[in-house]
Amino acid sequence: MQTYLGTRRRWAVVGLWLVGLLILSACVAAPAPAADGGSAPAGDGVVEIRLASYGLGDAWNSNLERTIDGFREANPNIKVKVEFRPGDAYWDKLQTEFAAGTAPDITINQMDWVIPGAARGMFVDLMPFIERDQVDLSAYFYDMAPEWGWRGGLYGGLLYAGGQALYINKDLLAAAGLEMPAADWTWNDMLNYALQLTDADSGQWGLYISPLNPPYWGASFIHGAGGSVLNADRTQCTLTTPEAQAGLQFISDLIFVHRVMPSPVTLVGQENPFLTGKVAMYFGGTWQEGQIREAGFDWDFAHMPAHPETGIRSVQMGSNAWSILSTSTKREEAWQLVKYLMGEGGQTGMMSNGIPGLTAVVESEAFRALHQPQDINVVTSDFANFGHDYYPTPDAGEWWNAVGQELSAIWSGEATVAEATERACAAVDEIFARRPAEWNR
């Protein structure tokens, strides 16, 4: 399995989440002389910097403002103006502003933007600042390099991580006389549970997976069977390998052979059936936890099951980050804010919206308390031990859409796994053939 959260990044969850509030001196170092290309540190006068982000709802927006308030209090000489913008055409607008020299100092960033931006000089390499201020990257369980690195540089400071979680409706389990799944359960065990939890007469399903198409949760089953979505260099589609096809076939059989899962194409435009109590086991996103808490039934997290033969477990995960625009004339002040947001202050402040990347924060009692009575350690330990990225590439958005269009024919019963993966790989490889040479890592 092509995982970047390998053994050296595994961290023991001894007491879960912050075993005392550790002050990471590397992440809260005092301002130092500007790195190459930066401006001089602010003096007695107040310096204003602009941070732009797409809005993610009133609660998320307010939480970001509150988090930045901590930075404002500690840095009264730096005024931070937050600009919330529509998500539609966000990247297009940012590129236009960059070309015109009117871009904000800091922007939220996505993995499919970082290399196109870094290749054209849009983003500042943070490594000189990180090395200068001795930011301890080993303090992070989440490796930022696969998504935010390019040609030895690092072009984003972590906002938070998120990804796949397996939610279990404990009320439905109890009604069926079942206990919570064991930590070492397998795909076969999951299928057995799903068969017992499916009741066609009442419209109850054993399980549901959404979003399904790679790079999302279907990729976990591809990896579990020993396959991959792309090759190691991220230059070729590998969905046509027997292993990848076996993982997809397992999901197809859940729908059409075992009939324990509804087809995603039949639920377009409908409310999530897990939220309405019609699904017992749900492979969803960590960002859905808030909705599930309000659904009115007892639930908990379960570990990703292992493939019964390969023994492989895999969960999909990704992140967002903050990047400094190279047009900024206030790079030093911008870096101080990015360092705060990727450090203890920012990771703690935003931990209600995602998974912190700092081990000390993710092990904190404060973070655990946000998720009680559920055991969030189940999710984060799976991330740390079995996490796989979303196959970040500069053209990720384009090939993700191509894969989704072709593989959706499997879930509607219009194509076999072999037919759909052949078409998907042809589309993906054609997209990759058009890549600019400067995008090569």
User: Measured between alpha carbons, how far is 417 from 422 in angstroms, rounded to an integer?
Assistant: 8
Predicted confidence (pLDDT) per residue in 36-95, tens digit: 444 444 446 899 999 999 988 888 899 999 999 999 999 999 999 999 999 899 999 999
Provide the pairing of β-strand 387-388 with 315-324. Answer: parallel
In this prediction, residue 44 carries a pLDDT of: 62
229 burial class (0-12, 13-18, 19+ CB within 10 angstroms)? buried
| Alpha helical stretches, state H, 198-284 | 218-224, 242-256
At residue 158, does pLDDT exceed 80?
A: yes
Q: Considering the domain 163-317, what is its CATH architecture?
A: 3-Layer(aba) Sandwich (3.40)
At residue 20, does pLDDT exceed 80?
A: no
- Domains of the chain, by residue range, sit at 7-161+318-377, 163-317
308 burial class (0-12, 13-18, 19+ CB within 10 angstroms)? middle
Predicted confidence (pLDDT) per residue in 226-275, tens digit: 999 999 989 999 999 999 999 999 999 999 999 999 998 788 778 899 99
At residue 2, does pLDDT exceed 80?
A: no
Please count the residues of the chain: 441
pTM: 0.82
Predicted confidence (pLDDT) per residue in 355-411, tens digit: 999 999 999 999 999 999 999 999 999 998 999 999 988 898 899 999 999 999 999
* Residue 394, CA distances (Å) to 115, 339, 344, 423 in order: 6, 25, 29, 21
State which amino acid sits at residue 162: G
Predicted confidence (pLDDT) per residue in 309-325, tens digit: 999 999 999 999 999 99
CA 422, chain centre distance (Å): 27
> What is 7-161+318-377's CATH superfamily?
Periplasmic binding protein-like II (3.40.190.10)
At residue 96, does pLDDT exceed 60?
A: yes
Please give the mean pLDDT across all residues of the chain: 89
In this prediction, residue 267 carries a pLDDT of: 82
